[in-house]
Amino acid sequence: MPLNHYVTLGRSGLRVSPFCLGTMTFGKDWGWGSTPEDSDRIFDRYCELGGNFLDTANVYTKGHSEKIIGDHLKDSPSKRDRLVIATKFFGSMLTGDPNSGGAGRKALIAACEQSLRRLQTDYIDLYWMHCWDPHTPIQETMRALDDLVRAGKVRYIGFSDTPAWKTTEAQMTARFRGWAPLIALQLEYSLLQRTIEGELVPLALEHGMGITPWSPLKSGVLSGKYTRGNAGKIKAERGEWATSALTDQAYKVIDALIRIAQEAGSTPARVALAWVQNRPGVTSTIIGARTMAQLEDNLAALDLKLTPAQTSQLDELTTPALNFPFDFGKRAAAFSASGTVINGTAAPVNPLAPQTEQDRF
């Protein structure tokens, strides 16, 4: 699938590339990442290949990520209009100011105005809530977001890193009040982080929200850079984000990725990305590239087709333990549909249920 084979994001008419360019690496203000010049080259190459979806946040590299994007586009209005620019609010941009972050009306609207200034644009295509704010009623957040949509400063809205129950409350509140609905969820999803499959993925499928996974390579852990052979010998640029994930289970997954990559004539990073992109509910996977070589390698994952056997290997190796009642619900099919097939799903026979008419009282 080429980068310019666009897909609609969730239950909306917004067309985006199947891989989204994450720009948390734009700027070296956190001690790692790309210079503005390298960021511009990565940006241009992504667009040259047909990519149209960028993801950033007000707090990325202390606001520098947004400014790099804005500086790049300020002299090219037509290029900006072809792009789908997504950014986020919630993160505080001023230590000590309680209203500098969160999802309250004051903070949210101020964050939007500041992002518009740094991005040097009149509108944000997709505005994400970066995380749930337990100190703010969700009705206040959704109404403020709807006001921004009605004012033309925001086109669409979505949630990132928010529990399924709170996301459902937000979506139903918006629907019943006629406010702008959520069209997408941005969630951590990779072979090493699959717990969203318990509630958040079913929520997205049920409510028409496209999933845009972040950290599909688990901060580079699944890129192929880290192996059992060089364990402890390579410095992780992202520090604890990467080193904390380098567990024995991670190395088992890395071993499998290397083996499958060799079978497919590919790379471990492409295998890991191809697995994520083909999961139920996933619309556009966010890839982050610090170098041009990383960008080119990641984008090639769109052309990789894993065999059913290869996918099964990865599925079985990384099957997550999910919260109750996920497993109970899977077993419950025997109780409700003993020995029948409904919508293509076969239910086992329940040995405790009456097996014949004569068995029933």
| Active site amino acids | 60
**Residue 212 β-bridge partners:** 186
Task: Tell me the C-alpha distance between 287 and 299, whole Å.
Answer: 8
| H or E segment to which residue 52 belongs | none
> Which tokens is 37 given?
């010049």
Report the DSSP pairing between strands 19-22 and 15-16: unpaired
3-state SS assignment for residue 13: coil
Is residue 204 within 8 Å of 210, Cβ to Cβ?
A: yes
What CA–CA distance (Å, rounded) separates 204 from 209? Answer: 5
Backbone angles phi, psi at 134, to 5 degrees: -70, -10
| Cβ 314 vs Cβ 256: under 8 Å | yes
184: enclosing H helix or E strand: strand 182-188
In this structure, how many other beta carbons lie within 10 angstroms of the beta carbon of residue 63?
A: 20
| Among 16, 273, 126, 158, residue whose Cα is nearest residue 7 | 16
Cα end-to-end distance, the chain, whole Å? 58
What is the rounded distance in angstroms from the CA atom of residue 97 to the CA atom of residue 101?
8
Torsion of CA 45, 42, 239, 57, to 10 degrees: -100
| Burial class, 4, CB count within 10 angstroms (exposed 0-12 / middle 13-18 / buried 19+) | exposed
- C-alpha–C-alpha distance, residues 243 and 141, integer Å: 35
| Strand, helix or coil for residue 250 | helix
Reported as half-sphere exposure (CB side, CA atoms, 13 A), residue 180 has a value of: 25
Q: Which residues contact 334 (CB under 8 A, 6 or more apart)?
A: 347, 348, 349, 350, 353
